[in-house]
């Protein structure tokens, strides 16, 4: 793959590492590649970061033709940069694209563009503990006309943002979650398993309402029966009930999270029984009432592990154990971030160094 490099002649000053926040600052360059139905993918380049110019009829603006990914690059003590399971993200991008009728990108080209771009921007990977370079690959359709159809013009872009630690100090902070009874995030047959912007657009209202009531996120129920647990906010969710780990099975409306996958693997290796199956909200309430819900946590690239302290359902609040961070939740966080930050050996071959 031929990648042209157009250097940014006006590099920005790097932001202070103590106050990066999330997705506020961007590096000096972006990777861009274009697609036209007749010629396929072409014009791969790393160019100065800047605004995009779009036709006002562009498909993405009207019909939401967009998919994305999210992963992080970490600075190791020896100066190398490390990615976590990047090939899983690149495969999922093509999976999501297939659902939205966006064109596939050859896997080797996805990997090469990602690794070359991160290498090019490596000075932007912050080195303070817990910080990372958040990488956002995305693809969108931009045909310059209004009919609904499979797009013929597309772009694939990678941008990157030096971001702070998700937790302000090194301790995990538990969150209060509201079980959402009205809105649903996705339905089977829809786009729930695809990482696409439209899923997020549809979920903001419920999250806003939960925040107004003092909760950080919602726990989504399935779209058909409103009975089975699906995800928490934009994270997968796992429970420890009476010593056994249970998590909703991948049923088409749940996103196949890479952190979820990694947690399941690590938990099995720790000797836990992990059940991927349907979990009804009634089963969960029952477990809480009988003091059998020992731990609950969300998983996703941003927070890695996010402990849940309180679940609210039908106007009642249930505190999980003492409302603190569960022992296993903490262990998982230490294990996964340990591998990601290069502090403990990666026995799984999940990391890629640049």
Ligand X SMILES: *Cc1c(COP(=O)(O)O)cnc(C)c1O
Which parts of the chain fold into alpha helices (H)? 59-63, 86-99, 107-120, 197-201, 204-212, 258-269, 281-289, 327-340
Distance CA 27, CA 77 (A): 21
43 versus 165: smaller Cβ distance to ligand X: 165
Stretch that binds ligand X, among 36-44, 153-161, 163-171, 253-261 (CB under 6 A): 253-261
59 versus 217: smaller Cβ distance to ligand X: 217
DSSP secondary structure string for all residues of 111-129: HHHHHHHHHHTGGGS--ST
58 versus 304: smaller Cβ distance to ligand X: 304
Which of 81, 93, 133, 255 is the binder for ligand X (CB under 6 A)?
Answer: 255
Size of interface with ligand X, in residues (CB under 6 A):
14
CB of 308 to ligand X, least distance (A): 15
CB of 301 to ligand X, least distance (A): 3
143 versus 223: smaller Cβ distance to ligand X: 223
301 versus 309: smaller Cβ distance to ligand X: 301
Half-sphere exposure of 191 (CA within 13 A, CB side): 21
292 versus 331: smaller Cβ distance to ligand X: 331
Query: In this structure, what is the dihedral angle of CA atoms 327, 331, 332, 336, given to the nearest 10 degrees?
Result: 160
End-to-end CA distance of the chain: 18
* Residue of 260, 253, 281 whose CA lies nearest to 185: 253
Q: Report the site for ligand X in 258-277 (rule: CB under 6 A).
A: 258-260
* Residue of 257, 230, 229 whose CA lies nearest to 336: 257
Cβ contact 134:159 at 8 Å:
no
Which of 120, 142, 176, 195 is the binder for ligand X (CB under 6 A)?
Answer: 195
CB of 228 to ligand X, least distance (A): 16
CB of 87 to ligand X, least distance (A): 12
Cβ contact 164:22 at 8 Å:
yes
23 versus 70: smaller Cβ distance to ligand X: 70
236 versus 247: smaller Cβ distance to ligand X: 236
Task: Kindly state the helix (H) or strand (E) to which residue 151 belongs, with its residue range.
Answer: none
Structure tokens at 263: 């947690």
Structure tokens at 313: 């359902």
65 versus 67: smaller Cβ distance to ligand X: 67
Q: Report the site for ligand X in 227-246 (rule: CB under 6 A).
A: 231, 234-236
CB of 299 to ligand X, least distance (A): 6
CB of 151 to ligand X, least distance (A): 22
Which of 257, 295, 313, 332 is the binder for ligand X (CB under 6 A)?
Answer: 257
* Residue of 210, 212, 177 whose CA lies nearest to 311: 177
Crossing angle of helices 86-99 and 107-120, in 10° steps, is: 130
CB atoms closer than 10 angstroms to residue 293 = 24
Binding mask 279-318 for ligand X (x = CB under 6 A): --------------------xxx-----------------
* Residue of 293, 278, 190 whose CA lies nearest to 227: 278
Does 320 bind ligand X (CB under 6 A)? Our answer is no
CB of 70 to ligand X, least distance (A): 6
Q: Is 304 left (phi over 0), alpha (psi -120 to 50) or beta?
A: left
Give CA angle at 321 (317, 325), nearest 5°: 105
CB of 251 to ligand X, least distance (A): 13
CB of 188 to ligand X, least distance (A): 15
Residues at the contact surface with ligand X, assessed by CB under 6 A = 70, 195, 231, 234-236, 255, 257-260, 299-301
């Amino acid at each position: 793959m031929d990648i042209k490099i157009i250097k940014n002649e006006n590099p920005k000053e790097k932001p202070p590492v103590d106050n990066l926040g999330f997705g506020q600052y961007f590096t000096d360059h972006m990777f861009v590649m274009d697609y036209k139905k007749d010629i396929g993918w072409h014009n791969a380049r790393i160019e100065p970061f800047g605004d995009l110019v779009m036709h006002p009829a562009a498909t993405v603006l009207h019909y939401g033709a967009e998919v994305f990914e999210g992963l992080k690059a970490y600075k190791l003590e020896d100066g190398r940069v490390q990615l976590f399971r990047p090939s899983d993200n690149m495969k999922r991008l093509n999976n999501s694209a297939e659902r939205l009728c966006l064109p596939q990108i050859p896997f080797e080209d996805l990997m090469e563009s990602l690794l070359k771009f991160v290498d090019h921007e490596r000075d932007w990977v912050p080195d303070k503990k817990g910080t990372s370079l958040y990488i956002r690959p995305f693809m969108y359709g931009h045909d310059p006309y209004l009919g609904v159809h499979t797009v013929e013009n597309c772009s694939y872009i990678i941008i990157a943002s030096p971001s702070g630690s998700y937790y302000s100090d090194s301790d995990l902070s538990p969150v209060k979650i509201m079980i959402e009874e009205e809105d649903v995030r996705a339905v089977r047959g829809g786009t729930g398993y695809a990482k696409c912007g439209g899923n997020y657009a549809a979920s903001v209202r419920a999250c806003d309402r939960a925040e107004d009531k003092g909760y950080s996120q919602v726990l989504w129920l399935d779209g058909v029966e409103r009975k089975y647990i699906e995800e928490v906010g934009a994270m997968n969710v796992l429970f420890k009930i009476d010593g056994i780990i249970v998590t909703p099975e991948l049923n088409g409306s749940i996103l196949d999270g890479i952190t979820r996958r990694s947690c399941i693997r690590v938990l099995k290796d720790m000797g836990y029984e992990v059940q991927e199956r349907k979990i009804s909200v009634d089963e969960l309430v029952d477990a809480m009432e009988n003091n059998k819900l020992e731990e609950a946590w969300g998983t996703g690239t941003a927070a890695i592990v996010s402990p849940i302290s309180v679940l609210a359902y039908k106007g009642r609040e249930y505190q999980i154990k003492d409302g603190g961070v569960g022992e296993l939740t903490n262990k998982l966080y230490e294990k996964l971030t340990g591998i990601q930050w290069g502090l403990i050996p990666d026995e799984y071959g999940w990391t890629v160094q640049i």
